[in-house]
Amino acid sequence: MLETEEAGVTDEPQLRAASVLRLGSLPGSLSWLIRECREPVCTSESWFLVSARGDRFISSRSPVEGLNRRKLSFLPVFAQAVAAVAPAGAMAVIPALVFPAFARGSAAPNLVVTFGAAMALMVLVSFCLRPMAKRMAAVSGLYSYTAKGLGQRAAITAGWSAIFGYGLVAMAGLLAVGTYADQILVNLGVGLAEPKLSMVLAIFIAMGAAWYLMVRGIQISAWFTLTMECISIGLLTVLMIVYFSLNAPAVSFDSVFAWSGDSDSLWIGIVVAVSAFVGFESAATLGGEAHKPFISVPRTLTWTPVLAGTLYLLAAISQDLALAEAPLAIMTSSTPLSDLFAQTSPLFAAVLDLGIAASWFACTIASLSALVRILFCMGREGVAPRLAGRIHAVHQTPSSAIMVVMPIVAIVPLVVIVSGASPEQGLVILFTLGAYGYLGAYLLASASLPFFLRRIGEDTYSSWILGALTPLVLGFMLWKATSVSILTGSLQAFVYAGVLLISIAYSTILKVRSPERLSSVGIYDETVDADLYRGGSN
Amino acid sequence: MGYRPGNSGPSTASNSLRILETVARLGTGTTAKEISDALQMAPATVYRMVNALVGDEYLVRTADLRGFALGHAISGLIAAATPPNISTAARSEIEKFRTGNRFPVHLILIQNASLKIADDDPDYPLQMKFEVMRYPHASAAGKLMLAHLDESARPFLKGPLAEVTRHTITNRSVLEKQLVEIRVAGQATEINELEEGSSCLALPVNLPNGPVQAALCLSGPSERFSAICERAEAARVTATRLAPLIF
């Protein structure tokens, strides 16, 4: 604005036009702030601490202000990631999803190799995300990282991809809650005549509870989800131990490490296995709310995939052993573990189902929490409806975004159930489609690493290697999985490609029609003067 | 690139302090590259360390993420290491109180669970300077400090209570009881406890609702203690005026 005045522009509309033009060349957050300051909400106390070195500045307000800033301790941040991964639920469901995929073909590479490869890949991704999490308190995770790395247009694609992924996993979570809730009733012998009714009811209850917890704040929902997750992991582990000690099957470990697959089914298997890990990056949406974001977020990003991977490997080994002996009906069921336990004791199975349902419920909350924070950011930037950028006055949560998203997410599982489609089919489709979304966002965000670091003048050789290797591996895997899935006549890859195309078209339209909105993409929780030595409080 | 390999400084701890110092010296917006050049440290080492410092909020990044500025976490360090400046206005306020007074007046700062004599009466200097600082349980100012210590600092003051004079309180429970009284009364007294025949009245100097950061002490012979206490209200007025001038 100062610049335009110096240029001798005094006329008000002209000034506005000039400042809009000028905004294109400013860093995103600065242009956001200036735009906000033109609106009456901005008080006169706004100021910048501008460095003598170039355009480096610290403002009095963060572009994402309104969120409950820097309050969340490490555990809730970790809980967010763990819940979004939903290890307990994934332990029970996803190996089973991988398994029938193999069972159909004659040759099946084993679960351990598949999960091992998926874990290695996710650790690689976490290595890419970590350096960025250490440097930027992102409120929208992968979206923010991509914006600072590959730029605004790529960020829109990454953001949509991530929203797509979170949304579908949340839908799958709700569907799983419905499926398992019905299973609990069946195992307890009180199953309703119409299983659809109990599923629909369970989904409605879960939706209402998720809504309430999310609006009340991440603090409460994170603790809730962590408790749920711990209980269900504990339950699952105990039940597995009990099952094995009761049944003491003639265990042959040969099958666990046997290699009998072709590489094509391995790739699609890895994509499904990866979907058991996705969500670990959702901690990166809590940068603004975490107490020490530059410590807790990177730590969570590092440890969640390792922890989840270890649990999965254990679960994969034990399920490999248990299910190898099981009849085909159980192997191809959507709830194989609980069917397996139901053979032994229905009560066992009911308890197990409760744990798994709780885990999926937590997963729904966590995925939605991440989703609404991306949407909130987009709303603040103006690339999504401004409404989404509003904050609940009391609870300091992005309640408008929650309100927009919740019905959309709930409708899909309801339609799946009411239409009479098989829930397991629905789960497979939602998870695999969701995995595409996550993988796309991972690819863009990990490719952002070296560019992000170069932009801030801190790139290293290792960042270039890591930033090249990870997207290559991810891309290769996506390519393989896509081609296999197209060959088998699945339309999933086309659906995701459609999402990508729409996002590219949208960002192109933005670039042409309102470049100033595109330029404000990439807001994050900036340093404010209260964070400075002798700033604010002093 | 002014970096010489193999010269990445003596230790991680001192390097982080040198980085903080460099940012303080070069000012808001100093980049990692500038730090690396200024300190002749390997860039990768500097990146790692500045990120650790950012993690603990000793440093913060500017909005473009390139530059650094000193973060609020060092406020604690700096506030603890630098005593408040006793301004001329504060000194003249104390001087004004002294002129209307027959008793010696001292200002003692309370900082980090220790005492520091900030303004000694030029006409009647404190006699037991060492004892005042060493045995807080024996002096009025010391007891005022003990009474307002927060919980985290209390464990450091464990150990036997030395008998400076016959009247020094050496029983911990008696002392604790008196500390409660001090908190309630808003003033601390000492009679023959630090020095036989001498007594003192200490009034807290603090901003409204702020922590007690100094003691305004009026001392005199023990037989004149009631006369000292008569000056308490005037001293309290001075203490209230002093607080905003110092803190």
Q: What DSSP string describes A378-446?
A: HHHHTSS-GGGG---TTT-S-HHHHHHHHHHHHHHHHHHHHTT--HHHHHHHHHHHHHHHHHHHHHHHH
Residue A94: pLDDT band with limits 50, 70, 90: low
Closest partner residue to B57 among A56, A292, A298, by Cβ? A292
Q: Tell me, what's the pLDDT at A49?
A: 65
| Span B12-78 CATH architecture | Orthogonal Bundle (1.10)
Residue A323: pLDDT band with limits 50, 70, 90: low
A25 shares a domain with A144: no
Residue A197 lies in a domain: yes
Q: Tell me, what's the pLDDT at A4?
A: 38
Residue A253 lies in a domain: yes
Q: Which of A108-117, B2-11, B97-106 has the lowest mean pLDDT?
A: B2-11
Closest partner residue to B66 among A457, A534, A538, by Cβ? A457
Distance from CA of B179 to the nearest CA of A (A): 30
Chain B interface mutation, best of A56, A449, A519, A531, highest count of B Cβ atoms under 10 Å: A56
For B47, name the nearest residue in chain A, comparing CA atoms only.
A458
A176 shares a domain with A312: yes
The verdict on B70 touching A (C-beta cutoff 8 Å) is yes
A40 shares a domain with A176: no
pLDDT: is A299 or A269 the higher one?
A299
Residue A175 lies in a domain: yes
Residue A109 lies in a domain: yes
Q: Tell me, what's the pLDDT at A229?
A: 83
Q: Tell me, what's the pLDDT at A295?
A: 94
Residue with tokens 């600065």: A30
Is the per-residue pLDDT at B8 higher than 70?
Answer: no
Domain count, chain A: 2
Q: How far apart are CA B41 and CA B182, in angstroms?
A: 54
State the helix-helix crossing angle for A87-104 and A423-455, rounded to 10 degrees: 110
3-state SS assignment for residue A36: helix
Residue A475: pLDDT band with limits 50, 70, 90: very high
Distance from CA of A136 to the nearest CA of B (A): 7
A103 shares a domain with A28: no
Tell me the residue range of the domain where A20 lies.
2-61
Q: How far apart are CA A322 and CA A452, in angstroms?
A: 46
Contact across the interface for B29 and A135, Cβ inside 8 Å: no
Distance from CA of B156 to the nearest CA of A (A): 27
Residue A527 lies in a domain: no
The verdict on A292 touching B (C-beta cutoff 8 Å) is yes
pLDDT: is A90 or A468 the higher one?
A468
A230 shares a domain with A169: yes
Contact across the interface for A531 and B74, Cβ inside 8 Å: no
Closest partner residue to A527 among B27, B56, B60, by Cβ? B60
Residue A69 lies in a domain: no
The stretch B50-77 carries a mean pLDDT of 90
Distance from CA of A265 to the nearest CA of B (A): 41
DSSP letter at A532 equals B
Residue A531 lies in a domain: no
Chain A interface mutation, best of B22, B59, B61, highest count of A Cβ atoms under 10 Å: B61
User: What are the tokens at B51?
Assistant: 């990120």
A293 shares a domain with A378: yes
A336 shares a domain with A293: yes
Contact across the interface for A456 and B65, Cβ inside 8 Å: yes
Q: Tell me, what's the pLDDT at B60?
A: 93
User: What residues of B are in contact with residue A149 (Cβ under 8 Å)?
Assistant: none
C-beta neighbour count of A313 within 10 angstroms? 15
Q: Tell me, what's the pLDDT at A1?
A: 36
Portion of chain A with pLDDT greater than 90, in percent: 39
The shares of helix, strand and coil residues in chain B, as percent rounded to the nearest 5, are 50, 15, 35
Q: Domain B83-246 has what CATH class?
A: alpha beta
User: What residues of B are in contact with residue A57 (Cβ under 8 Å)?
Assistant: 62-64
Portion of chain A with pLDDT greater than 70, in percent: 76
Contact across the interface for A56 and B29, Cβ inside 8 Å: yes
User: What residues of A are in contact with residue B23 (Cβ under 8 Å)?
Assistant: none
Closest partner residue to A456 among B44, B66, B74, by Cβ? B66
Is the per-residue pLDDT at A344 higher than 80?
Answer: no
What does A313-335 look like in DSSP terms, one character per residue? HHHHHHHHHHHHTS-HHHHTSSS
The verdict on B31 touching A (C-beta cutoff 8 Å) is yes
User: What residues of B are in contact with residue A533 (Cβ under 8 Å)?
Assistant: 69-72, 74-75, 78
Distance from CA of A452 to the nearest CA of B (A): 10
Closest partner residue to B31 among A29, A457, A531, by Cβ? A457
Element housing B110 (H / E): strand B105-111
A467 shares a domain with A407: yes
On average, the pLDDT of chain A sits at 80
A92 shares a domain with A25: no
Distance from CA of A529 to the nearest CA of B (A): 9
Contact across the interface for B70 and A532, Cβ inside 8 Å: yes
CA dihedral A249, A251, A257, A263 (to 10 degrees): -40
The verdict on B65 touching A (C-beta cutoff 8 Å) is yes
The stretch A109-122 carries a mean pLDDT of 84
Q: How far apart are CA A381 and CA A518, in angstroms?
A: 8
Contact across the interface for B28 and A59, Cβ inside 8 Å: no
A222 shares a domain with A161: yes
Between the CA of residue A29 and those of A234, A422, A527, B21, what are the distances in Å? 44, 47, 11, 29
Q: Tell me, what's the pLDDT at A322?
A: 67
Is the per-residue pLDDT at A529 higher than 60?
Answer: yes
User: What are the tokens at A55?
Assistant: 């355009």
Residues 6+ apart with CB under 8 A from A305: A119, A122, A123, A125, A126, A277, A280
Distance from CA of A295 to the nearest CA of B (A): 5
A334 shares a domain with A243: yes
User: What residues of B are in contact with residue A30 (Cβ under 8 Å)?
Assistant: 63
Question: What CATH code is carried by the domain that includes residue A477?
Answer: 1.20.1740.10
**Exposure pattern of B62-94 as b/e (b: 16+ CB <10 Å)?**
bbbbbbbbbbbbbbeeeeeeeebebeeebbebb
Domain coordinates of chain B in residue numbers? 12-78, 83-246
A41 shares a domain with A113: no
Closest partner residue to A457 among B32, B60, B78, by Cβ? B32
Q: A394 and A118 in contact (C-beta within 8 Å)?
A: no
Residue A135: pLDDT band with limits 50, 70, 90: very high
CB-defined contacts A:B, below 8 A:
103
Cβ within 8 Å of B, A 297-336: 298
Helices and strands per DSSP (H, E), number in chain B: 10, 8
Residue A321 lies in a domain: yes
Distance from CA of B74 to the nearest CA of A (A): 6
Q: Which of A63-72, A77-86, A374-383, B74-83 has the lowest mean pLDDT?
A: B74-83
**Exposure pattern of A467-493 as b/e (b: 16+ CB <10 Å)?**
beebbebbeebbebbbebbeeeebebb
**In one letter, which amino acid is B98?**
R
Q: Tell me, what's the pLDDT at A3?
A: 38
